[in-house]
Amino acid sequence: MIKPKQRLPDRKSKVTVREVALQADVSESTVSRIMRNQGLVAEATRAKVMEAVRALGYVPNRIAGSLASLDSQLVGVVVPSLSNIVFPEVLQGINAGLKASNYQSVISISDYDIDREETLVRGILAWQPAAILITGFDHTVATRRMLDQSGVRVVEMMDIDSAPIDVAVGMSHRRAGYAAGQYLIGKGYRRFGYVGHDWTADRRARLRYDGLSEALSEAGLSIVAHAIADGPSSVSTGREQTAQLCAMAKVDVAVYSNDDMAVGGVFYCQGAGIRMPDQLAVFGFNGLEIGRELPQPLSTVRSNRFLIGQRAIEAILSGLERPETKTTIDTGFEIYSGQTA
Amino acid sequence: MIKPKQRLPDRKSKVTVREVALQADVSESTVSRIMRNQGLVAEATRAKVMEAVRALGYVPNRIAGSLASLDSQLVGVVVPSLSNIVFPEVLQGINAGLKASNYQSVISISDYDIDREETLVRGILAWQPAAILITGFDHTVATRRMLDQSGVRVVEMMDIDSAPIDVAVGMSHRRAGYAAGQYLIGKGYRRFGYVGHDWTADRRARLRYDGLSEALSEAGLSIVAHAIADGPSSVSTGREQTAQLCAMAKVDVAVYSNDDMAVGGVFYCQGAGIRMPDQLAVFGFNGLEIGRELPQPLSTVRSNRFLIGQRAIEAILSGLERPETKTTIDTGFEIYSGQTA
DNA sequence: CTGTTAGCGCGTTCAG
DNA sequence: CTGAACGCGCTAACAG
């Protein structure tokens, strides 16, 4: 006695290669070949099959396809946040790089938490991606091990100040901080203040700070006042901490952990009637649009987030096997003078 | 004669349930049960298996799992852009809503192009998602048909001014525009200018404009000057178009297509020495952080993008079968007086 | 150019 | 509480 198959009740009468093959009176493999534009097929057959595909509204099941071909055409991405516009910018670059290919990106947000990142990486790896793009070098031991053993291409984005697992794409935050320090010293500033946000979460901000400190110390200078907030960076935090800084000490330049914070500083100065740069110079990091459009353009270091995403994709698309040698791609940075420092 | 299996050369000695079962000396089903915390298993067996899992670094293959269970645990998301911070904010809400569940989101960007959106939807549907979250009501006929036939839950986000395919979550942009108009008329403004960006791509901006026009016309007023740019919204476009508008006609209030544009207007006024709101009032839309932190907080309409994402997920997680009746969820909006209008 | 065969790795019965 | 059998929908290899 034959039992009717009856697993989950199908939402709709699902159409598979089978139905298409039946309708077009060809084999399943022929349908498969046509759907993937692979191999030679007679034009008449192709037309016949495509008509059946349209008639039935057939959409190939990628899950089955990936399992059979052992190739998921997926790229996993982990970024720490979406509230800071720089990460959406990186995603745009990734998106642009992927547009021409058949790859799909699967994006996860770690909230600057490396334990959560570990969970996310495990979840992504379960989808057998061709590559995984992750932010920075700061991972748990388990994450690093999983990534290493998985054998998939791994790109660590944003930072190039450490040795990558496979590929690193980004810029040297340490050197950027150093360059900023030299620039400001060259401009004649001597009493430096620093306005920042949570360092334990954002290691790159810390690297920039270290680079800045190094440049100052080489010139026999040091940072005379710090105003560092606990949470993430934001315009409001930048504004509040600038007030703090000004109450704390007399400085002639405030260096910020990033442009969001610096724009907050600019708004504080505008509100308090503090003239920039002569009463207080303001210097940011990133080169966001908002800073460029201020009545007085913000002095900052420009980084290229879009390019980082794009180069990351190029790096892995150029070869899906992980090579022996590790690669570091420097997308550079540039001091933007602006009018605030 | 038995042929050895020899498909694609595996990157690494891939570990599957089979290896774990062998190592732990149990059956594959037992391993499967344990990995999914499903069904009763003796504590001793569980411990034995988990040790093997750890030792081998086993990560279950979700692709195979999804195929077998006919359930992908995937949620597809399509947003038009990431450059406008409102969409990353929606994604954050989605992310928050998904955090507790086992679902993964697959995000695609349409670049405000409904033909591209169609391609993306087809690609996402191929992954057999449990639901698809898409932006607005403006889709191609084919997209609408695919979505409809797929049987999966569909949430149209941001807007509630049309009838949804399944669920709509957002706010009425038409009413928001109308409310803004009434507010500004109540404040005594009579000569209205409008500063906008590309309408054909951003239908919601158009709806707000229509609502505004309606309110004005009811009061016997109309918009006396328009400065509308071709491309997407941005701070720089807002700034430039404000200059245009001021050169064009004498208006006492400028209403902007959104806060990015309005902030550009504010910067223009600051630079040109135009006092807000008495010489020119400025009114935006969205309620972005940047507007709130300006020396003079921007007058605007607040919408809740995070909430939209969160509610969208709640809506589909509450029932994975598409119900007969369509649902509309209003996340509301609120006039924020600020100091610029 | 096209069909046949044999899995991909796992979840789901159902029997013990 | 555990195991065996079967199949999810598709693609790869090979034969014709």
pLDDT of residue A77: 97
User: What's the CA–C1' distance between B64 and D8, in Å?
Assistant: 9
In chain B, residues with a C-beta closer than 8 Å to the C-beta of A95 are: 82, 109
Query: Which residues in chain B land under pLDDT 50?
Result: 1-11
User: Which of these, B84, B170, B295, lies nearest to A266 by C-alpha position?
Assistant: B295
Q: Which amino acid is at B58?
A: Y
- Residue B261 sits at φ, ψ, to 5 deg, of -60, -45
A289·B263 Cβ contact <8 A:
no
Instruction: Confirm or reject contact between B278 and chain A (CB < 8 A).
Output: no
Q: What are the residues facing B299 on neighbouring strands?
A: B283
Q: List b or e across B29-49, with b for residues whose CB sees 16 or more CB atoms inside 10 angstroms.
A: ebbbbbbeeeeebeeebbebb
Residues 6+ apart with CB under 8 A from B237: B197, B229, B231, B261, B264
User: Cis before residue B323, ω within 30 degrees of 0?
Assistant: no
Give dist(CA A114, CA A105) in Å, integer.
Answer: 21
Helix (H, G, I), strand (E, B) or coil at B310: helix
Is strand C within 7 Å of residue B35 (CB)?
yes
Q: Which amino acid is at A241?
A: Q
Comparing every residue's Cα with the C1' atom of nucleotide D2, the nearest one is B30
User: What's the CA–C1' distance between B68 and C9, in Å?
Assistant: 9
Instruction: Confirm or reject contact between A325 and chain B (CB < 8 A).
Output: no
Residue in B with minimal Cα distance to A295: B271
User: What's the CA–C1' distance between B40 and D3, in Å?
Assistant: 14
In chain A, residues with a C-beta closer than 8 Å to the C-beta of B144 are: none
Surface-to-core class of residue A253, CB atoms within 10 Å of its CB (0-12 exposed, 13-18 middle, 19+ buried):
buried
A207 contacts A232 by C-beta, under 8 angstroms: no
Is strand C within 7 Å of residue B18 (CB)?
yes
Pairing of strands B300-303, B333-336: antiparallel
In chain B, residues with a C-beta closer than 8 Å to the C-beta of A124 are: 104
Of B106, B234, B292, which has the smallest distance from its Cβ to A106's Cβ?
A: B106
Give dist(CA A326, CA A164) in Å, integer.
Answer: 7
B173 contacts B137 by C-beta, under 8 angstroms: no
pLDDT of residue B12: 52
User: What's the CA–C1' distance between B33 and C11, in Å?
Assistant: 9
Sign of the C-alpha dihedral computed for residues A112, A118, A123 and A125 taken in this order: positive
Helix (H) or strand (E) holding B115, with range, is helix B114-125
In Å, how far is A319's CA from the nearest CA of chain B? 13
Q: Which amino acid is at A257?
A: S
Q: What's the pLDDT tens digit per position in A280-316?
A: 999 999 999 999 999 999 999 999 999 999 999 999 9
pLDDT of residue A4: 36
Q: How far is CA A200 from CA A17, A197, A227, A244, in A?
A: 52, 9, 15, 21
Q: What's the pLDDT tens digit per position in A165-219?
A: 999 999 999 999 999 999 999 999 999 999 999 998 899 999 999 999 999 999 9
Nucleotide nearest to A3 (CA to C1'): C13
Give dist(CA B142, CA B73) in Å, integer.
Answer: 25
Pairing of strands A327-330, A333-336: unpaired
What class has domain A173-300? alpha beta
Query: Mutate which of B17, B59, B270 to disrupt the A interface (most A C-beta within 10 Å)?
Result: B59
Of A12, A104, A289, which has the smallest distance from its Cβ to B106's Cβ?
A: A104
Q: What's the pLDDT tens digit per position in A262-275?
A: 999 999 999 999 99
Q: How far is CA A311 from CA A18, A131, A136, B266, in A?
A: 41, 14, 15, 36
Is strand C within 7 Å of residue B7 (CB)?
yes
- Residue B157 sits at φ, ψ, to 5 deg, of -100, 160
Q: Which amino acid is at A286?
A: N
B61·A126 Cβ contact <8 A:
yes
A288 contacts A306 by C-beta, under 8 angstroms: no
Q: What are the residues facing A255 on neighbouring strands?
A: A194, A283
CA A195 to centroid of chain Cα atoms:
24
Give yes or no for residue A135 having a pLDDT over 50.
yes
Comparing every residue's Cα with the C1' atom of nucleotide C6, the nearest one is B5
User: What's the CA–C1' distance between B30 and D1, in Å?
Assistant: 10
In Å, how far is B215's CA from the nearest CA of chain A? 32
Quick one: DSSP state of residue B338? T
User: How far separated are the first and last CA of chain B, in Å rounded?
Assistant: 86
User: Residues of A numbered 113-142 whose beta carbons fall under 8 angstroms of chain B's beta carbons: which are they?
Assistant: 122-128
User: Which of these, B65, B68, B71, lies nearest to B152 by C-alpha position?
Assistant: B71
Strand D nucleotides below 7 A of a protein CB?
1-5, 7-13
A280 contacts A269 by C-beta, under 8 angstroms: yes
Q: Longest C-alpha distance within chain A, in Å?
A: 93
* Token couple for B205: 């901006």
In chain A, residues with a C-beta closer than 8 Å to the C-beta of B259 are: none
Prediction pTM value: 0.92
Instruction: Confirm or reject contact between B290 and chain A (CB < 8 A).
Output: yes
User: Residues of A numbered 238-277 whose beta carbons fall under 8 angstroms of chain B's beta carbons: which are they?
Assistant: 239, 263-264, 267, 270-271
Strand C nucleotides below 7 A of a protein CB?
1-5, 7-14
CA B26 to centroid of chain Cα atoms:
46
Q: How far is CA B52 from CA A143, B28, B55, B168, in A?
A: 19, 13, 5, 47
pLDDT of residue B262: 98
User: Which of these, B310, B208, B220, B182, lies nearest to B261 by C-alpha position?
Assistant: B208
Residue in B with minimal Cα distance to A127: B62
User: Cis before residue B277, ω within 30 degrees of 0?
Assistant: yes
Break chain B into its structural domains and give their ranges: 173-300
B148 contacts B134 by C-beta, under 8 angstroms: no
- Residue A110 sits at φ, ψ, to 5 deg, of -95, -10
User: What's the CA–C1' distance between B48 and D3, in Å?
Assistant: 17
Tokens 């057939």 belong to residue: A58
Report the 10 Å Cβ neighbour count for A92. 19
A95·B89 Cβ contact <8 A:
no
pLDDT of residue A12: 53
* Token couple for B230: 């071709």
B82·A62 Cβ contact <8 A:
no
Helix (H) or strand (E) holding B204, with range, is helix B203-218
Mean pLDDT of A253-258: 98
pLDDT of residue B142: 93
pLDDT of residue B42: 87
A146·B60 Cβ contact <8 A:
no
Give dist(CA B234, CA B225) in Å, integer.
Answer: 20
Sign of the C-alpha dihedral computed for residues A319, A322, A325 and A328 taken in this order: positive
Of B63, B267, B290, which has the smallest distance from its Cβ to A127's Cβ?
A: B63
Dihedral angle over CA of B18, B23, B26, B32, nearest 10:
-50
User: Which of these, A158, A195, A165, lies nearest to A286 by C-alpha position?
Assistant: A158
B126·A270 Cβ contact <8 A:
no
Nucleotide nearest to B39 (CA to C1'): D1
Residues 6+ apart with CB under 8 A from A154: A131, A132, A133, A134, A147, A164, A165, A166, A167, A322
Of B8, B70, B82, which has the smallest distance from its Cβ to A88's Cβ?
A: B82
Give dist(CA B66, CA A127) in Å, integer.
Answer: 10
Q: What's the pLDDT tens digit per position in B257-283?
A: 999 999 999 999 999 999 999 999 999
